[in-house]
């Protein structure tokens, strides 16, 4: 089945590309989510108009992404979590935690744009990539510190 992508789809193509996909993937995933159109001659004409608009929109989105990246680069996000003696966290710092911290600082970033392969589970300083646009990626420092845990001894009364 040939489809025309209306949005960028990871590992498939960019907005406006005509790609061949499996029938089920196209019918059950791409079409219902309005990520693609069936590749017919009339849809190809419509997509040419959408491509021209998309080029203009992409240019303005890139400028906005670059300004946001410039604001995000100097940031250092700090988290404190309970950890063991060797610096392993009992919990973890996830992309949702990072997105929430960015939101509290006034930056609206979707958690799916934060590129963490796996959650951070150790104490230390990490560089986390945030893909703001197809061509713009910002890197934010994430500092994870061990939470000070006060040991309480059981006192017999």
Given a contact cutoff of 8 angstroms between Cβ atoms, the answer to whether 98 and 114 are in contact is yes
Q: Which CATH superfamily is domain 73-146 in?
A: Ribosomal protein L9, C-terminal domain (3.10.430.100)
The pLDDT value recorded for residue 60 is 87
3-class DSSP state for residue 78? strand
Local confidence band at 149 (pLDDT 50, 70, 90 cut-offs): low
pLDDT digits (tens, 9 = 90+) for 65-117: 999 999 999 989 999 988 888 888 888 999 999 999 999 999 988 888 999 98
Cβ atoms of 134 and 58 closer than 8 Å = yes
Distance CA(86)–CA(90), nearest Å, equals 11
User: 89-94, long-range: CB within 8 Å, 24+ apart, which pairs?
Assistant: 89/120, 89/121, 89/122, 89/123, 89/144, 92/119, 92/120, 92/121, 93/119, 93/120, 93/121, 93/142, 93/144, 94/119, 94/120
Task: Tell me the pLDDT tens digit for each residue of 111-146.
Answer: 889 999 899 999 999 999 999 888 899 999 999 998
CATH level 3 topology of 2-67: Ribosomal Protein L9; domain 1 (3.40.5)
pLDDT at 23: 93
Chain Cα centroid distance, residue 109: 8
DSSP SS3 for 134: coil
| 3-state SS class at 151 | coil
Highest mean pLDDT among 2-6, 15-19, 140-144: 140-144
Domain boundaries, the chain: 2-67, 73-146
CB 8 within 8 A of CB 46: no
* pLDDT at residue 142 in the model: 93
Specify the DSSP element, H or E, that contains 65. Answer: helix 41-72
Domains 2-67 and 73-146 share a fold: no
Distance set, CA 46 to CA 6, 11, 42, 73 (Å): 11, 24, 6, 39
Q: What is the pLDDT of residue 157?
A: 54
């Amino acid at each position: 089945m040939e489809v025309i992508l209306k949005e960028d789809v990871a590992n498939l193509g960019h907005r406006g590309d005509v790609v061949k996909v499996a029938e089920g993937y196209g019918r059950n995933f791409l079409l219902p989510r309005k990520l693609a159109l069936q590749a017919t001659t009339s849809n190809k004409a419509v997509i040419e108009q959408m491509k021209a608009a998309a080029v203009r929109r992409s240019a303005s989105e890139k400028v906005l992404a670059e300004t946001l990246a410039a604001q995000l680069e100097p940031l250092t996000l700090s988290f404190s979590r309970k950890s063991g003696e060797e610096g392993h966290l009992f919990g973890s710092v996830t992309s949702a935690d990072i997105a929430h911290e960015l939101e509290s600082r006034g930056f609206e970033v979707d958690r799916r744009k934060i590129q963490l392969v796996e959650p951070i589970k150790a104490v230390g300083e990490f560089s986390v990539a945030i893909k703001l646009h197809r061509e713009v990626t910002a890197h934010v420092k994430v500092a994870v510190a061990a939470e000070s845990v006060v040991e309480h001894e059981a006192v017999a009364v």
